[in-house]
């Protein structure tokens, strides 16, 4: 009988909060308690946002003009204008900034 009462009370509270939440976007969180005294909390208002990876910048220096060199050298770079000039430590010359 107690279980039936708790289920009915839970349905009543959740239906009232759904109706109240339709008019308010900043509704306060509510707590449901089942018959084993465990608390179930519900957060209202903030939907889960998917994780967005931050931009990563890389400096690519072309080594084809150097004596005995060839190919490209790359290093991580600080955020700046993509396509602009950049420098890598311990490398002669400047390179181009890219993002990935």
pLDDT score recorded for residue 16: 57
Q: Residue 63: CA atoms inside 13 Å, Cβ hemisphere, count?
A: 14
pLDDT reported for residue 70: 74
Of 41, 84, 39, 88, which Cα lies nearest the Cα of 61?
88
Which pTM does this prediction carry? 0.46
pLDDT in tens, 13-59: 666 555 555 555 555 666 666 666 555 555 555 566 688 888 999 99
pLDDT in tens, 53-88: 889 999 999 987 666 667 889 999 999 999 999 999
């Amino acid at each position: 009988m107690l279980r039936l009462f708790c289920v009915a009370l839970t349905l009543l509270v959740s239906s009232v909060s759904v109706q109240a939440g339709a008019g308010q976007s900043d509704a306060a969180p509510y707590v449901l308690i089942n018959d084993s005294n465990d608390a179930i909390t519900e957060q209202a208002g903030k939907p889960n946002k998917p994780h967005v990876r931050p931009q990563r910048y890389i400096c690519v220096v072309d080594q084809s003009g150097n004596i005995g060199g060839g190919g490209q050298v790359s290093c991580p770079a600080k955020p700046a204008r993509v396509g602009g000039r950049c420098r890598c430590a311990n490398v002669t010359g400047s390179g181009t900034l890219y993002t990935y």
